[in-house]
């Protein structure tokens, strides 16, 4: 068991979570207009906190502010759907299956390509695999351990290392998106279940293929990892 302590959420964090989740859930539907005072009443937060929250939600494309219309909730098509907070709110909202399907489709498009690019970078001696090797070893070490959090942390580190090794800055920017999907899988989809032996083997094969500079095999094994996720919940 982990002995670490968790810092309690701040008033800002609580208000942001409450309002963001309410927008995603449709409790504050697109087109709804409100005021700072209305949000203060809803959240119990101070005026300064609510103003900062509305600035963040505005930056996420979830609401707009105007002198005559006040605060207006914007439609989902205008949200920053790649922001990890929006992803989490959607996963915890009324249509989690849709967000999961979209996440997997994104991973299917991105991660095999990143694995192939990583293998190419290693083959051309533009990158080393130390971080990837450490993450793969940590997954193996934690797989049989009592602390499931250690395995899932290593899993996140593994996928982040693949993105980093790709050398593609745009792929690397998707790290937090991938991590949010992995976090949900760890906490909700798999829970306390023991890591699957074949999944673990596939991760080792991805690492070996990247180390060998084998683009095709690295992409194929990463693709299989993601397709197995769809099979678990299809």
DSSP, residue by residue, 27-68:
SS-TT-EE-HHHHHHHH---HHHHHHHHHHHHHTTSEEEETT
CATH of domain 95-233: 1.20.120.530
Answer whether residue 4 shows pLDDT above 70. no
Mean pLDDT of 46-70: 94
Q: Model pTM?
A: 0.85
Q: Where are the beta strands (DSSP E) in the chain?
A: 33-34, 63-66, 70-73
Pick the CATH number of 11-78 from 3.90.1150.10, 1.10.10.10, 3.30.70.1520, 3.30.830.10: 1.10.10.10
Q: Where are the domains of the chain?
A: 11-78, 95-233
> What's the pLDDT band for 51 if we cut at 50, 70, 90?
very high
Which residues does residue 73 pair with via DSSP β-bridges, in sequence order? 63
Instruction: Report pLDDT for 52.
Output: 98
Count of C-beta atoms within a 10 Å radius of residue 170: 8
pLDDT digits (tens, 9 = 90+) for 82-121: 999 999 999 999 999 999 999 999 999 999 999 999 999 9
DSSP, residue by residue, 115-164:
HHHHHHHHHTTS---HHHHHHHHHHHHHHTSS-HHHHHHHHHHHHHHHHH
> What's the pLDDT band for 228 if we cut at 50, 70, 90?
confident
């Amino acid at each position: 068991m982990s002995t670490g302590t968790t810092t309690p959420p701040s008033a800002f964090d609580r208000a942001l979570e409450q309002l963001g989740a309410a927008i995603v859930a449709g409790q504050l539907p697109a087109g709804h207009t409100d005021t700072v005072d209305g949000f203060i009443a809803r959240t119990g937060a101070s005026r300064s906190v609510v103003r900062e929250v509305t600035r963040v939600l505005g930056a996420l494309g979830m609401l707009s502010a105007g002198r005559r219309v006040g605060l207006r909730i914007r439609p989902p098509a205008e949200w920053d759907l790649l922001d990890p907070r929006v992803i989490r709110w959607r996963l915890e909202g009324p249509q989690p299956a849709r967000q999961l399907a979209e996440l997997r489709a994104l991973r299917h498009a991105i991660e095999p390509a990143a694995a192939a690019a990583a293998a190419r970078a290693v083959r051309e001696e533009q990158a080393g695999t130390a971080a990837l090797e450490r993450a793969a070893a940590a997954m193996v070490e934690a797989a049989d351990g009592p602390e499931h959090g250690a395995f899932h942390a290593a899993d996140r580190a593994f996928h982040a290392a693949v993105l980093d090794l790709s050398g593609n800055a745009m792929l690397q920017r998707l790290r937090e998106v991938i991590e949010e999907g992995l976090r949900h899988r760890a906490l909700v989809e798999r829970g306390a279940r023991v890591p699957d032996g074949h999944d673990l083997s596939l991760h080792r094969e991805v690492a070996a293929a990247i180390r060998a500079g084998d683009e095709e095999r690295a992409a194929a094994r990463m693709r299989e990892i993601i397709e197995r996720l769809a099979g678990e919940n299809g």
